[in-house]
Amino acid sequence: MNKLPEGFLWGGATAANQCEGGYLEGNKGLSTVDVIPAGKDRFPVMLGKMNMFECDDEHFYPSHEAIDFYHHYKEDIALFAEMGFKCFRMSLAWARIFPNGDDAEPNEEGLKFYDDVFDECLKYGIEPLVTITHFDVPMNLVKAIGAWRSRKMVDYYERLCEVIFDRYKNKVKYWLTFNEINMLLHLPFIGAGLTFEPGENEEAVKYQAAHHQLVASAKATKIAHAINPDFKIGCMLAAGNTYANTCAPEDVWRSMEKDRENYFFIDVQSRGEYPNYAKKMFERHNISLKMEEGDEEILKNNTVDFISFSYYSSRLTSADPKVSAETEGNVFATLKNPYLKASEWGWQIDPLGLRITMNSIYDRYQKPLFIVENGLGAVDNPDENGYVEDDYRIEYLREHVKAMKAAVNEDGVELMGYTPWGCIDLVSASTGEMKKRYGFIYVDKDNEGNGTLKRSKKKSFNWYKKVIESNGAEL
Ligand code: BG6
């Protein structure tokens, strides 16, 4: 009871845009994330409110070098292996494979890079878990067709999937179609390469782009199962249940609405059709989705095999406009929950919320779950050898693993694995900082891009090693 099931996939998670660097190396094209600067302009760009389609000299772009996983992957994967990882979640940079998104042929150098990374993982018996797109669209497609606002994206994505599923069919079994697909509603440029014209119905643009991604995800699932019936395809939700601020029924209703905003995507990907509440919401907001013939059938017949999600915190909402003391929380605005402590970035810490979230998702879909992100972004103070005494991180992870075990062993939730976020320090997606660190491995680099890129083990490194060795018994 104290352990997790045999074969449980312990590991860690990263994303190409936050760790690879080498942003134009090996014939890679420019990606959306490469034009998102650090600093005050970051949010307006991620929201699609400020168009920045090229890089300039005034801004600093953290993705360009990131932690240079592109040249350090062997060293990094060796460290993951030393911790005993069974699984490594990473993403592909679309523009490394199709530099312009619409190229006739894929870029062999890009494909080869991922071959090498997968081979390195497999050498140590580490199973790759691959996110096909993690906040990443080739910039050429943004400029040429407005990225996911265009239906053509479905074809380009399909082509990408055909190429990668075929190429890696004997190396990768677990795939996620879109990272945090619901992020499209909150950070549309990062989630879907969207920017907006003044005065347009932004909700309509976002939901149309969402429809394109949902169809693309279902088509990917279809192609994947045809190429290799053993493939397991998952969706990916930025999760965290929304609590009601009081027991006033209005607050409870509001919290249900908030959760539905996020579940909407997974309802389609897992159940195979648009839920009625969404259809009614579209009517109220003058949104009429443009669907092509056959879309409904594609969605219906190609649902995901498992549900993956990120969990950093629960959320809190109120129907009362006067209650407005909002705090940050993984980009989703939320009220401050007086029962919870928060990280240095204001993200509230709620391990029991993970158990609650796991149960809600499992009750709703009855499919295996996979926690593909969880962790604490914190300031680390290394000694002269790069060693960090990160008891705060161990504490956060220990409590979350306990909650996860309770969901599995006491509530019967099916869980495939756990890959904490940023297993090696990397660039923060929301702020572009290096200072907000999640890793078991420290990387010597600061917010301005200075540092030797040297890797060193933190205290949590050995802690997590023991957790994996004991299959979760020793925390
Ligand atoms: C998730 C993303 O939203 O949260 C990751 O999938 C991101 O890309 C992670 O890095 C943590 O957020 P942040 O902003 O602290 O990096």
Residue 423 CA to ligand 1 center (angstroms) comes to: 12
Tell which one of 380, 428, 431, 433 to mutate to probe ligand 1, the residue whose CB is within 8 A of the most ligand atoms.
Answer: 428
The per-residue pLDDT for range 409-436, each reduced to its tens digit, is 999 999 999 999 999 999 999 999 999 9
Tokens matching residue 347 = 């993200």
Residue nearest to atom 8 of ligand 1 (CA): 429
- CA of 347, closest atom in ligand 1: 15
Residue nearest to atom 5 of ligand 1 (CA): 429
Using alpha carbons only, what angle is made at residue 403 by residues 125 and 413, rounded to the nearest 5 degrees?
A: 70
pLDDT score at 327:
64
**Is residue 370 classed as helix, strand or coil in its secondary structure?**
strand
Q: Parallel, antiparallel, or unpaired: how do β-strands 455-457 and 441-443 relate?
A: antiparallel
Residue nearest to atom 16 of ligand 1 (CA): 428
Residue 223: how many CA atoms within 13 Å on its side-chain side?
22
Cα 437 from chain centroid?
16
Question: What torsion, rounded to 10 degrees, do the Cα atoms 471, 126, 94, 219 define?
Answer: -70
pTM over 0.95: yes
Residue nearest to atom 9 of ligand 1 (CA): 429
The per-residue pLDDT for range 121-163, each reduced to its tens digit, is 999 999 999 999 999 999 999 999 999 999 999 999 999 999 9
Tokens matching residue 192 = 């879907």
Q: Identify the CA nearest to 218 among candidates 239, 237, 234.
A: 234
pLDDT score at 333:
78
Specify the DSSP element, H or E, that contains 91: strand 87-91
Q: Ligand 1: list residues with CB < 6 Å.
A: 15, 18, 179-180, 238, 310, 330, 373, 377, 421, 428-431, 436
* 8 Å CB contact between 232 and 174: yes
For 177-237, give the DSSP string.
EETTTTHHHHSHHHHH-----TTS-HHHHHHHHHHHHHHHHHHHHHHHHHH-TT-EEEEEE
- CA of 135, closest atom in ligand 1: 8
**Is residue 461 classed as helix, strand or coil in its secondary structure?**
helix
* 8 Å CB contact between 328 and 346: yes
* 8 Å CB contact between 286 and 202: no
Ranges of residues in the chain with a pLDDT under 50 are none
Residue 430 CA to ligand 1 center (angstroms) comes to: 6
Tokens matching residue 106 = 């894929």
Active-site annotation, residues: 373
Using alpha carbons only, what angle is made at residue 442 by residues 97 and 15, rounded to the nearest 5 degrees?
A: 25
Q: Measured between alpha carbons, how far is 86 from 348 in angstroms, rounded to an integer?
A: 29
Residue 135 CA to ligand 1 center (angstroms) comes to: 10
Residue 398 CA to ligand 1 center (angstroms) comes to: 20
Provide the strand spans (E) within 229-322: 232-239, 242-244, 306-311, 315-317
Indicate the fold that domain 9-469 takes in CATH.
TIM Barrel (3.20.20)
Residue nearest to atom 14 of ligand 1 (CA): 430
What letter does residue 86 receive in the DSSP assignment? S
The per-residue pLDDT for range 196-246, each reduced to its tens digit, is 988 999 999 999 999 999 999 999 999 999 999 999 999 999 999 999 999
Q: Measured between alpha carbons, how far is 426 from 437 in angstroms, rounded to an integer?
A: 7
Tokens matching residue 208 = 């149309």
